[in-house]
């Protein structure tokens, strides 16, 4: 039975404390419990609802209804954990304690950090005020993907801008997924020729893994999309329907350019939560400083991490969590038993690139962009767009998320031995 405890004045102790009840926190709790059901686990998570965020792209493309991407947190929180419905305000890694919003503390033998990342809406001047009106939208904002879909259906002519901020961000393909699904709708409804579609990408390449670029370039050509690299969205004015992009050349010189729009799908820059980035647990970039294979903290041997907060060089996707959770579970249990750490994470991430309604380029890769296909070839045919991959994304992955991953079912997620890294 789930318990929610808020006692003050005394320090409660749990064997394992997990910060965060998103995909990473709940999945790793279930994987730990699967390995040793006697381990006392607490999850600290203040949110009342749990979101299946990979579904927001599909809502913005008119494929999913918004309600299928969210459930009450109480429906997905495991019954075997103690659930503290509060934020974490401080981590005392030297004394093995975390402090919560009401001032009470929890002590732990092992700590798992999975608080996700922070969407820095304030990092783009005027964006937060502009969202939800005058054609300014973002599938990254809770509840706003429906507005994206409304804009897509109503836009018949003019200019549609899609922005992609500097890496790292959660689901690096999502800014482009929104663009491809929109362009496909406009093509099917005969208005594409009356639209000027522009992608403004802060990076220098279309996608970070070169093997998938040709397939994406074919769709860029099909939809006649104007590509703008090293072009970063820095300001938005909703009432005047203008956006300012900062372009940088090879010598590092930059200049700002104002572009008018009828629709703007904006993606904010992203960073680790303040709790992590301003602590001794962070690396130079402000992300959680983890060993890339064991997912153990580089300095504190009883602290592990996974999910979007991680400073490891993998793509920040739910699919990465699917592979990370068993690794953290095995290595954490080994730590509690004073055994060597044998499980390794090889950087797996997956990005189902929705290039049209009915086809997906299923990008699966690990550290260094090494391809790591895990699905059968009939689903993932190398680097091509397939209908089978769409079937997987649209019909199977939501069920696998709610009823598989969150419950500790580790389908196609067996940890690699550490020897595989070398």
Residues 323 and 192 in one domain: no
**Tens-place pLDDT, residues 325-364:** 999 999 999 999 999 999 999 999 999 999 999 999 999 9
Per-residue confidence (pLDDT) for residue 420, from 0 to 100: 61
Q: Same domain for 127 and 193?
A: yes
CATH number of the domain enclosing 222: 3.50.50.60
- Looking at 270, 293, 308, which one is the last position of a domain? 270
In this structure, is residue 356 part of a structural domain?
A: yes
Contact 329/359 with Cβ under 8 angstroms? no
Does residue 412 belong to any structural domain of this protein?
yes
Does residue 4 belong to any structural domain of this protein? no
Domain count, the chain: 2
Rounded Cα gap, residues 396 and 5, in angstroms = 36
Residues 266 and 276 in one domain: no
Q: Are residues 251 and 387 in the same domain?
A: no
Give the residue from 308, 295, 413, 303 showing the smallest Cα distance to 54: 308
Catalytic residue among 100, 171, 321, 346: 171
* All residues at 6 or more sequence positions from 410 whose CB lies less than 8 Å from its CB, including other chains: 31, 34, 322, 325, 326
- Whether residue 327 is found in the same domain as residue 386: yes
pLDDT at residue number 190: 98
Q: Which tokens hold the place of 87?
A: 């934020």
One domain for residues 170 and 282? no
Asked whether residue 337 falls in the same domain as residue 253, the answer is no
Domain assignment present for 422 = no
Final residue before a domain boundary, out of 270, 301, 329 = 270
Is residue 151 located within the same domain as residue 228?
A: yes
Verify that 357 and 373 share a domain, yes or no. yes
Tell me which of 226, 244, 270 is where a domain ends: 270
DSSP 223-237: TT-EEEESEEEEEEE
Report yes or no on 302 lying in a domain.
yes
Greater model confidence, 186 or 381: 186
Whole-number Å distance between alpha carbons of 326 and 341: 12
Q: Please spell the DSSP secondary structure of 75-136, one letter per residue.
A: HHS-TTSEEE-S-EEEEETTTTEEEETTS-EEEEEEEEE----EE-GGGSBTHHHHTTSTTE
Same structural domain, 125 and 262: yes
Position 3 pLDDT exceeds 50 = no
**For residue range 74-84, what is the model confidence (pLDDT) as tens digits?**
999 999 999 99
Are 137 and 264 part of one and the same domain? yes
Please tell me which residue in 106, 161, 263, 351 is annotated as part of the active site: 351
> Under 8 Å CB-to-CB from 43, ≥6 apart: which residues?
18, 20, 21, 25, 26, 29, 77, 78, 81, 82, 83, 84
| Domain assignment present for 3 | no
Q: Residues 105-124: what's their mean pLDDT?
A: 98
How many other β-carbons are positioned within 10 Å of the β-carbon of residue 338? 6
| Residues 167-200 pLDDT 10s | 999 999 999 999 999 999 999 999 999 999 999 9
Find the domain containing 148 and state its range: 120-270
Task: Cite the beta strand spans of 20-86 per DSSP E.
Answer: 41-44, 49-51, 70-72, 82-84
Whether residue 216 is contained in a domain is answered as yes
**Known catalytic membership, residue 351:** yes
Is residue 6 situated within a structural domain? no
Same domain assignment for residues 142 and 238? yes
Closest by CA to 134, choosing from 60, 243, 234, 267, is 243
Q: What is the pLDDT of residue 380?
A: 72
Q: Would you say residue 218 has pLDDT above 70? A: yes
Q: Determine whether 191 is exposed, middle or buried from the number of CB atoms within 10 Å of its CB (0-12, 13-18, 19+).
A: middle
pLDDT value of residue 5: 44
Mean pLDDT, the chain, rounded, equals 94
- Per the annotation, the verdict on 114 as an active-site residue is no
> Considering only 116-120, 364-368, 383-387, which range has the smallest mean pLDDT?
383-387
């Amino acid at each position: 039975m789930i318990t929610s405890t808020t006692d003050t004045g005394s320090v409660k102790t749990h064997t394992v404390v997990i910060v965060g009840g998103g995909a990473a926190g709940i999945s790793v709790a279930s994987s730990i419990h699967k390995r040793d059901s006697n381990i006392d686990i607490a999850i600290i998570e203040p949110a009342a609802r749990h979101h299946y965020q990979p579904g927001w792209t599909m809502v913005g493309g008119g494929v999913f209804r918004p309600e299928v991407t969210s459930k009450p947190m109480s429906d997905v929180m495991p019954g075997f954990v103690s659930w503290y419905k509060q934020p974490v305000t401080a981590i005392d890694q030297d004394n093995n304690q975390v402090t919560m919003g009401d001032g009470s503390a929890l002590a732990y033998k092992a700590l798992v950090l999975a608080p996700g990342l922070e969407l820095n809406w304030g990092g783009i001047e005027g964006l937060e005020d502009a969202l939800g009106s005058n054609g300014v939208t973002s599938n990254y904002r809770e509840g706003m993907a429906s507005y994206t879909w409304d804009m897509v259906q109503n836009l018949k002519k003019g200019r549609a801008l899609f922005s992609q901020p500097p890496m790292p961000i959660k689901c690096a393909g999502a800014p482009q997924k929104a663009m491809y699904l929109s362009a496909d709708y406009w093509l099917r409804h005969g208005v594409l020729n009356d639209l000027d579609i522009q992608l403004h990408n802060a990076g220098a390449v279309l996608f970070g893994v070169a093997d998938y670029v040709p397939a994406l370039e074919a769709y860029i050509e099909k939809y006649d999309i104007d590509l703008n690299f090293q072009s970063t969205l820095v300001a938005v004015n909703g009432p005047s329907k203008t956006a300012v992009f900062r372009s940088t050349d090879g010598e590092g010189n930059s200049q700002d350019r104002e572009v008018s729009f009828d629709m703007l799908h904006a993606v904010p820059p992203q960073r680790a939560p303040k709790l992590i980035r301003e602590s001794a647990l962070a690396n130079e970039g402000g992300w959680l400083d983890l060993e890339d294979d064991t997912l153990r903290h580089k300095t504190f041997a009883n602290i592990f991490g996974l999910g979007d907060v991680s400073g490891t060089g993998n793509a920040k996707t739910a699919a990465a969590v699917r592979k990370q959770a068993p690794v953290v579970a095995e290595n954490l249990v080994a730590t509690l038993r004073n055994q060597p750490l044998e499980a390794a994470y090889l950087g797996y991430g997956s990005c189902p690139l929705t290039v049209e309604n009915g086809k997906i380029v299923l990008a699966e890769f690990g550290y260094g962009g090494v391809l790591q296909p895990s699905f059968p070839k009939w689903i993932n045919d190398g680097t091509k767009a397939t209908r089978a991959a769409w079937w997987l994304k649209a019909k199977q992955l939501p069920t696998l998320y709610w009823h598989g991953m969150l419950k500790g079912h580790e389908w196609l997620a067996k940890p690699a031995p550490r020897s595989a890294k070398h």
